[in-house]
Amino acid sequence: MEDCLFCKMVNKEIPANIVYEDDMVLGFLDISPVNAGHVLVIPKKHFKDLFEVEENYLTAVTKAIPKIAKSVLDAVDAKDFNLIVNNGEIAGQVIPHLHFHIIPRFTDDGHELFHGKEMSPDELSVIADKIKSA
């Protein structure tokens, strides 16, 4: 895609701190990281989100993620990480090019991920049934 920031990185039109690259996948440091070592992993072909991505690209990305994550953890001396996909604008996707966040985590790093809502067993059952029938 012509105006896509990530496609421009793939095409080497703009600089990026690339940490991984193969024929189908690019991994680079996030310019506004949650923690040091925060990497974005993308398919080199443009896909807006998980609903558009071709299976072979999704497979290539998901095979690369553990390799990249292990290198990130070793490099920043972290034990754990979050793997996140923001799928769509409401979910926080800022760049409309599918990307996975590898975010190394540290004790007391101040980053909170989830704020759960309490739901009754009946409410959960209704939602589960709706998902299964969809």
Catalytic residues: 99
Q: How do strand 100-105 and strand 80-84 relate by DSSP bridges? A: antiparallel
Length of the chain as a residue count: 134
Alpha carbons 38 and 101: distance in angstroms, whole number: 7
Closest residue by Cα to residue 66 from 27, 24, 10, 16: 27
Which CA distances in Å does 98 have to 2, 83, 120, 124? 15, 13, 34, 30
DSSP character at residue 98: -
Contact at 8 Å (CB) between 30 and 99? no
